[in-house]
Chain A
Amino acid sequence: MNRALAETLTVLDRQRARVKWQQESYFSELSGVFSTQTSTHVRGFQGDLISDESVLDDLVMTRQVKPDPSLETSWPELGKVDMAGMGFGPCGYSNGPSFDMNYAISRTFSCPPAVAATIAKEAMEVKGKESIVSENMGSAVARESSKKRKADKLHNSKVAADDDSKKTKACGEEEEESKITGPPNTNKSSTKQEPSADTSKENSKLTEVQKPDYIHVRARRGQATDSHSLAERVRREKISERMKYLQHLVPGCNKITGKAGMLDEIINYVQSLQRQVEFLSMKLAAVNPRLDFDIDNLFAKDVFPPCMTNFPTVGMSSEMANPSYLHFNPVQQVVACSGVEMGLNSPDIALRRTISAPESTIPDASFLDSSCFTQIQPSPTWDVELQNVYNVAFEHGRSTTPFPSQPFA
Chain B
Amino acid sequence: MKRWRAKREHQIYSSKLFQALCRSRRTSSSTSAKELHQTADRVLAITAKGTTRWSRAILAAPLTAGTNMKKHKKAKVTVHTRLRKPVVNREKKKLPVVERKLKALRRLVPGCRKLSCNNLLEETSDYIAALEMQ
Q: Are B102 and A263 interface neighbours, CB within 8 A? A: yes
Q: Does B25 contact A (CB under 8 A)?
A: yes
Q: Does A285 contact B (CB under 8 A)?
A: yes
A348 to chain B, nearest CB (A): 15
Q: A219–B104 Cα gap in the complex (Å)? A: 35
B25-51 vs A, CB cutoff 8 Å, 1 = contact: the mask equals 100000111111100110000000000
Q: Are B132 and A285 interface neighbours, CB within 8 A? A: no
Minimum CB distance partner of B41 in chain A: A277
- Which one of B25, B108, B121 contacts A242 once the chains associate, using CB atoms below 8 Å? B121
Q: Are A270 and B25 interface neighbours, CB within 8 A? A: no
Minimum CB distance partner of B105 in chain A: A267
A305 to chain B, nearest CB (A): 8
Q: Inside 8 A of B129's CB, which chain A residues have their CB?
A: 249
Closest 7 interchain pairs by CB? Answer: A242-B121, A282-B33, A263-B101, A281-B37, A281-B36, A273-B131, A285-B33
Q: Are B33 and A281 interface neighbours, CB within 8 A? A: yes
Q: A250–B124 Cα gap in the complex (Å)? A: 11
Q: Are A285 and B131 interface neighbours, CB within 8 A? A: no
Among A224-278, those with CB < 8 Å from B are 228-229, 231-232, 235, 238-239, 242-243, 245-246, 249-250, 259-260, 263-264, 266-267, 269-271, 273-274, 276-278
Q: Are B14 and A366 interface neighbours, CB within 8 A? A: no
Q: Inside 8 A of A278's CB, which chain B residues have their CB?
A: 33, 37
Q: Does B57 contact A (CB under 8 A)?
A: no
Contact A274-B36, Cβ < 8 Å, known A288-B25, A308-B132: no
Q: Inside 8 A of B1's CB, which chain A residues have their CB?
A: 245, 249
Q: Inside 8 A of A304's CB, which chain B residues have their CB?
A: 7, 10-11, 14
- Which one of A235, A291, A302 contacts B25 once the chains associate, using CB atoms below 8 Å? A291
Q: Are A277 and B10 interface neighbours, CB within 8 A? A: no
Q: Inside 8 A of A292's CB, which chain B residues have their CB?
A: 22
Q: Inside 8 A of A249's CB, which chain B residues have their CB?
A: 1, 125, 128-129
Q: Does A307 contact B (CB under 8 A)?
A: yes
Q: Inside 8 A of B36's CB, which chain A residues have their CB?
A: 281-282, 284-285
Q: How many residues of B contact A (CB 8 A)?
A: 43
B6 to chain A, nearest CB (A): 8
- Which one of B31, B35, B124, B134 contacts A270 once the chains associate, using CB atoms below 8 Å? B124
B92-134 vs A, CB cutoff 8 Å, 1 = contact: the mask equals 0000011001101100110000000110011011011101111
Among B49-108, those with CB < 8 Å from A are 80-81, 97-98, 101-102, 104-105, 108
Q: How many residues of A contact B (CB 8 A)?
A: 46
- Which one of B15, B80, B121, B127 contacts A299 once the chains associate, using CB atoms below 8 Å? B15
Q: Does A306 contact B (CB under 8 A)?
A: yes
Among A274-316, those with CB < 8 Å from B are 274, 276-278, 280-282, 284-286, 288, 291-292, 295, 299, 302, 304, 306-308
Q: Does A138 contact B (CB under 8 A)?
A: no
Mostly, the A contact residues are helix
Contact A235-B118, Cβ < 8 Å, known A259-B98, A308-B5: yes
Q: Inside 8 A of A363's CB, which chain B residues have their CB?
A: none
B residues with CB within 8 A of A: 1, 5, 7, 10-11, 14-15, 18, 21-22, 25, 31-37, 40-41, 80-81, 97-98, 101-102, 104-105, 108-109, 117-118, 121-122, 124-125, 127-129, 131-134
Q: A332–B25 Cα gap in the complex (Å)? A: 20
Q: Are A245 and B108 interface neighbours, CB within 8 A? A: no
Q: A340–B125 Cα gap in the complex (Å)? A: 37
Q: Are B131 and A277 interface neighbours, CB within 8 A? A: yes
Among A138-179, those with CB < 8 Å from B are none
Q: Which of A232, A235, A249 is the most central at the interface, judged by chain B CB atoms within 10 Å of its CB?
A: A249
Contact A238-B118, Cβ < 8 Å, known A270-B124, A304-B10: yes
A260 to chain B, nearest CB (A): 6
A404 to chain B, nearest CB (A): 22
* Sample of 8 A–B contacts (CB below 8 Å): A249-B129, A250-B128, A263-B102, A277-B40, A281-B37, A288-B31, A306-B7, A307-B10
